[in-house]
Each structure stands twice: as C-alpha cells, then as structure tokens.
C-alpha cells in the first residue's frame, strides 16, 4: 500500500511529467492561456492517459509479450491512444459542446501528447503490475492536471502584471515555466 502511495507521489510531484521529465509541453504552453480550459484539458488528458495506459498494459502483457512482438509496442500504443482520444472527443462533444469548442484543436492533439505515450511506455518498461500501472498513470495525470492549473493561474495573473514589453506574452510564460520547474525540483528525494 505504501509502495503504491510512493508511486503516486513520485509520478505526481517528484518525477512530474511536465516539469521534471519535460513531456507534454505542447498543451502545457498552448492551452494554459485561461484557467478553465486548462483545467478541462487536464481532465480530458487524465481520462485519456489512465484509460490508454491500462489498455496498453493489458495489450502488452496479454498480446505482444506472448507473441514475442515487444518491438511493436510504440505503434500499438499510438493506435490505442488515438482511439481513446476519438472516444473522448465524441463524449465531450455530446456532454459539453462549449468545452469542445474551447479546447478546439488541442483535443485531438492529445493523441500527440507525448506524456500519454510516455506514461504507457515507461509503465511497461519498468515492468509494473496492472494495479501499479493504474496508480502510476493516475499520478502522472494528476501531476499533469496540477501543473496545467498552476501554470494557467500564473499566466492569468501575468496578463494583468506590468511586464516589460520585450517579455510580454510567450517569453514571460517560458520564464515562468522555468521557475515553476525549478520549484518542482525541490520535491526531489521525497519519493523515488
């Protein structure tokens, strides 16, 4: 149990996928202009990430390993992720058309979010059990959502700050991301 907790905290904070492993930077910079879409994006990615990591785990251990086709894992995982994203988009369009419109192109782009593929590949690579994979992916997804929310809130405040003209917009956002990343480095040693 404690081990599961450590895996969760490790994926959430210490080895945060965005700020420590630098995966999934596209939505991190792209959708964090406003708080609400950023949180929604985090939710959508959480759903996709957890579901696809679990499916990938099952497929890898039940299908690819017995057949000796481990080298196919990347392409198989990508196919799985793409289908899950399609499903998410479909569900979101029905349940919340407004959110669907706000997220726009970033929703199908979850497919190319490397954090999603990264979690599936890392979980498989570390030879985790199914339950650990689930916890690991939930932790990673929560970490992603947390960082999205934090960064979006920071950027919303930055919009109203008197930034020097040269730093306005993307430059100050990148600087902020760097400082946020430094802050997350402080979690090192908390868990593995």
Partner 1 sequence: MGVFWAIIGVMGGLGLLLGLGLVWAHRRLPPDGSTIADAVEALLPQTQCAQCGYPGCRPYAEAVADGAAIDLCPPGGAETVEALGRLLGRQPEPPQNRHPAAPQNPPAPASQAAIAVIDETRCIGCYLCVRACPVDAIVGAPQLMHTVLADQCTGCELCIEPCPVDCISLRPVADPVDIRPIRIMARPRNRQPEHPELSCIRCGACQTLCPEALFPQELLWYARNEAWEAAADRGLDACIECGLCNQACPSNIDLLTHFSRGRQVLAHQAQARTRAEHARERYGKHQERTLARQAERDNRRRERLSAGGQRPWQR
First to last CA, the chain: 15
Number of residues that bind partner 1 (CB under 8 A): 19
User: Residue 25 is encoded by which pair of tokens?
Assistant: 């930077």
Nearest to 143 by CA among 173, 122, 162, 129: 122
| Window 21-60: contact mask with partner 1 (x via CB under 8 A) | --------------------------------------x-
DSSP per residue, 69-101: -GGGHHHHHHHHHHHHHHHHHHHHHHH-HHHHH
- Verify binding: residue 79, partner 1, rule CB under 8 A: yes
Closest approach of partner 1 to the CB of residue 153, in Å: 31
Residue 122 as a binder of partner 1 (CB under 8 A): the answer is no
Q: How far is the CB of 79 from partner 1 (least distance, A)?
A: 6
Nearer to partner 1, 76 or 149 (CB): 76
Which residue stretch of 21-29, 74-82, 135-143, 166-174 sits at the interface with partner 1 (rule: CB under 8 A)? 74-82
3-state secondary structure at position 129 = coil
Contacts of 23 by beta carbon, 8 Å cutoff, 6+ apart: 17, 114, 115, 118
**Of the two residues 56 and 180, which places its CB atom closer to partner 1 in the complex?**
56
| Residue 188 interacting with partner 1 (CB under 8 A) | no
Based on the shown chain and the rule CB under 8 A, indicate whether residue 93 belongs to the binding site for partner 1.
yes
DSSP state, 60? I
Q: Minimum CB separation from partner 1 for residue 49, in Å?
A: 17
């Amino acid at each position: 149990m404690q081990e599961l907790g450590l895996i969760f905290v490790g994926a959430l904070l210490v080895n945060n996928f965005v700020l420590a492993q630098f995966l999934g930077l596209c939505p991190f910079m792209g959708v964090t202009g406003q708080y609400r879409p950023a949180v929604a994006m985090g939710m959508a990615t959480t759903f996709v990430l957890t579901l696809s990591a679990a499916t990938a785990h099952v497929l890898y251990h039940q299908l690819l390993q017995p057949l000796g086709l481990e080298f196919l894992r990347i392409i198989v995982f990508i196919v799985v992720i793409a289908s899950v994203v399609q499903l998410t988009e479909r569900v979101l369009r029905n349940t919340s058309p407004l959110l669907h419109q706000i997220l726009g192109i970033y929703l199908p782009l979850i497919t190319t979010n490397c954090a999603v593929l990264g979690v599936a590949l890392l979980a498989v690579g570390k030879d985790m059990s199914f339950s650990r994979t689930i916890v690991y992916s939930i932790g990673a997804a929560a970490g992603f959502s947390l960082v999205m929310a934090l960064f979006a809130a920071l950027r919303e405040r930055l919009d109203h700050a008197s930034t020097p003209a040269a730093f306005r917009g993307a430059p100050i956002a990148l600087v902020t991301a760097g400082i946020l990343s430094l802050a997350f480095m402080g979690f090192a040693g908390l868990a593995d």
